[in-house]
Structures are given as C-alpha cells and as structure tokens.
Structure 1
Amino acid sequence: MDAIDILMNEHRHIERVIDVLERSVAYGRGGGDVSPVLFERAAHFLLTFVDGSHDAKEGEVFQAITSRGLPLGEGVLAALSGQHVLGRELAEELREMVRAVMRGEKEREEMYALAERYVRLHRGHTEVEEGRFFPLVRRLLPVDVMERVRAKFARIEAAHGSLAEAADALELAFPLPATAPRWVNGGRTHQPWGGRGAP
C-alpha cells in the first residue's frame, strides 16, 4: 500500500463521518431528535483527524510535488490547498455553532446549514483529489519519494491516533436511524438518537 492508497483509504473512513453528518441533518430537519453533541463530536473529528492528520499527510504530498518543480500556487494544488483551509475554518465554525446552540443562542437550522456546507465541500474536494490530483502524483513521484512520504505519514498518525478508529467510535456513539421520524396520531413516536452520553 503506497501513500496514495493510504489517503484514499482514509477518504473512505472520512466519508462515513460525512454520511453521519448528512443523515443527521436530514433527520433533524424532518423532526427527529438529534443531539447537538453529535455535531460537536463530528467537529472534533474534522479538526483532529481530517485537518490535523489527513490534511497534514496530504501536505507532505504537496511538498513532495512542489520540490519537483510544480509550484503549490498553481492549478489544482492551489485549489486543494485553499479547500483545506476552508474546511478547517468551517469545522471551527461548526464547533462554535454547536456550543452556541447548546447555550440557546443559535437555532439548530444554523448548525444544520453549516454542517451541510462542510459536507458539500468535502465531497467536491475528494472528487478532485481522486480524479485529478492523485493520478498526477503517481505519474510525477518515483517510488523512492513515495516511500519517504509514506514514512512521514506514520509519524503524523502516531501524533494523532488512528483516523479509522476515530470514525468507528463516532459511528458507534451515534448510530444512524433506520428510518425518518414516524408520526402517529399527530405526534412523533419516540426514536431516541441522542447518542451515548448525550443530554
């Protein structure tokens, strides 16, 4: 498994959390009871494991590419770098929005809208990386350079922990509902989805 395989594998785990966010927004807007704690935990995952670990690994790939004469400020690299910055900003905003919702200062819809923006950004970003950037990397970087990049990945992961295990933990803490909220005799039946440890 080379450096690109590792990044693509991490994309699959990140997408599991993105799916939790997307479905929780739809569930909440449909009248379901979704705890803000879910969004708080998701924001922590996005900041710690997506920005702190995954994007840092991609940064090592960017550096390896630029060292071979392709400036970071041009083309797809510039776009991807900008999306990394925007993703971090949105995740930070989501974390603060969740805290404001918990204090009763913001409406849940504002939290849902922010989560939705992150979901759209991440899906488009992943499509560009896997469709355009990763094939470019494999063409430009020789095997020995890819091996050095992969070694740096191991040090980054050691500092943050396993992204896959963090995605597992979030899914287990907040299992997705099987269906949309059910309405019986004008009132919603109880479908607890507050997550473990949620208020």
Structure 2
Amino acid sequence: MDAIDILVNEHRHIERVMDVLDRAVTHGRGGGEVSPVLFERAAHYLLTFVDGSHDAKEGEVFQALIARGLPSGAGMLAGLSAQHEVGRELAGELREVARAVARGEREPEELYALTERYVRLHRGHTEAEEGRFFPMVRRLLPVDVMERVRAKFARIEAAHGSLAEAADALELAFPLPATPMRRASGMRPQPWIAR
C-alpha cells in the first residue's frame, strides 16, 4: 500500500463519519432525538483526525510536490489547501455551535445547516483529490519519494491515533437508524444498526 492508497483508505473512514452526520441531520429534522454531543464529538474527530492527521499527511504529499517544482501558490495545491483551511474553520464552528445548542443558546437547525456545509465541502474535496490530484501525484512522484512520504505518515498517525478506530468509536457511540434509502438499497448493514 503506497501513500496514496493510505489516503484513499482514510477517505473511506472519513466518509463513514460523514454518513453518521447525514443520518443525524435527517433524524433530527424528522423529529428524532439527536444529542448535540454527537456533533461535538464529530467536530473533535474532524479537528483531531481529519485535520490533525489526514490533512497533515496530505500536507506531506504537497511538500513533496513543491520540492519537485510544483508551485504552491496557484492551481490545484492552492485550491486543496484552501479547502483544508475552510474545513478546519467549519469543524471549529461546528464544535462551538454544538456546545451552544447543548446549552440551549442556539437552535438545532443551525447545527444541521452547518453540518451539511461541512459534509458537502468534504465530499467535493474528496472527489477532487481522488479524481484529479491523486492521479497527478502518482505521475509526478517517483516510488522512492512516495516511500519517504509514507514513512512520515506513520509518525503522524502515531501522534494522533488511528483514524479508522476513531471512526468506529463514533459510529458505535451514536447509533442512529439507517435511512430508508440505505435499507432499500440492499447495502451491507452498518454496525450501529444491529446494536
């Protein structure tokens, strides 16, 4: 598994958290009870594991590309870096709004709208990386450089913990019913449904 395979695999784990957030918003808007703590813990996941670990790993890929002469101030690198910054800001805002909702100072709908903004940003960002950026990285970075980047990934993960295990913990801590579409699609049941 090379550095890009690791990042793609992490995207799948982050997507699981996006699915939890999607279901939480749908459930809450449908009149179901959804604790604002779910959103606060999700924000912690986003700040610690997505920003602190995953985006830091992508930053190592960016640095390797810059070292090979790709300009950082314009184009794809600048756009992806800007999206990382917006994601960090939205995650911080999500944490604060979740706390305010828990105190009764803000309405849940504000939390739901902010959550949807984050999920849209993340999914668009992932699509851009997997569709355009990662193929470009594979073309531009030789195997030896990719191996050095991958070694840096291990140090980053050691400092933050496993992104996959954190996604597991969030799913299990906040069981939500599957959406009707997910049940009807015949998709594999998720672990929180059987619990």
Q: Distance in 2 between matches of 1:178 and 1:51?
A: 27
Task: Tell me if the contact between 2:23 and 2:178 (Cα under 8 Å) persists in the aligned partners.
Answer: no
| C-alpha distance after superposition, 1:63-103 (max 9, x if no partner) | 00011111111211111000000000000000000111111
Q: Is residue 139 of structure 1 aligned with residue 168 of structure 2?
A: no
1:157 matched residue in structure 2: 157
Rounded to whole Å, the distance in 1 between the matches of 2:168 and 2:108 is 25
Contact persistence 2:17–2:171 (CA under 8 A): yes
The aligned counterpart of 1:101 is 101
- Whether contact under 8 Å (2:23, 2:179) holds in the other structure is no
In the alignment, what sits opposite 1:77? Answer: 77
State the secondary structure of the residue aligned to 1:175: coil
Output aligned runs, 1:97-136, within 5 Å. Answer: 97-136=97-136
Deviation string 1:3-27 (CA, Å, 9 cap, x unpaired) is 0000000000000000000111011
Map 1:41-80 to 2 at 5 A: 41-80=41-80
**Whole-angstrom CA distance in 2 between matches of 1:16 and 1:177:** 14
Residues 138-196 of structure 1 show CA distances to partners (whole Å, capped at 9, x for unaligned) of 0000000000000000000000000000000000111221357xxxxxxxxxxxx9xxx
Q: How far apart in 1 are the matches of 2:61 and 2:106?
A: 39
Q: Which runs of 5+ in 1 are unaligned?
A: 181-192, 194-199
Q: Which has the higher helix share?
A: 2
Q: Secondary structure at the match of 1:69?
A: coil
CA deviation map 1:34-78 (0-9, x unaligned): 111110110000000000000000000000001111111121111
Which structure's CA Rg is the greater one?
1
Give the superposed CA RMSD: 1.1
Residues 1:14 and 2:10 aligned together: no
Give the residue type in structure 2 aligned to 1:160: H
Instruction: Kindly indicate whether residue 16 of structure 2 is the aligned counterpart of residue 5 of structure 1.
Output: no
Letter in 1 for 2:155: R
Partner-residue secondary structure (3-state), 1:62: helix
Quote the sequence identity (%). Answer: 84
Q: Which runs of 5+ in 2 are unaligned?
A: 181-191
**In structure 1, C-alpha distance between the alignment counterparts of 2:52 and 2:176, rounded to whole Å:** 26
SS in 2 for 1:123: helix
Q: How many angstroms apart in 2 are the aligned matches of 1:72 and 1:151?
A: 22
Query: Which residue identity lines up with residue 120 of structure 2 in the other structure?
Result: R
Deviation string, structure 1 residues 98-148 (Cα, Å, up to 9, x no partner): 111111110000001000100000000000000000000000000000000
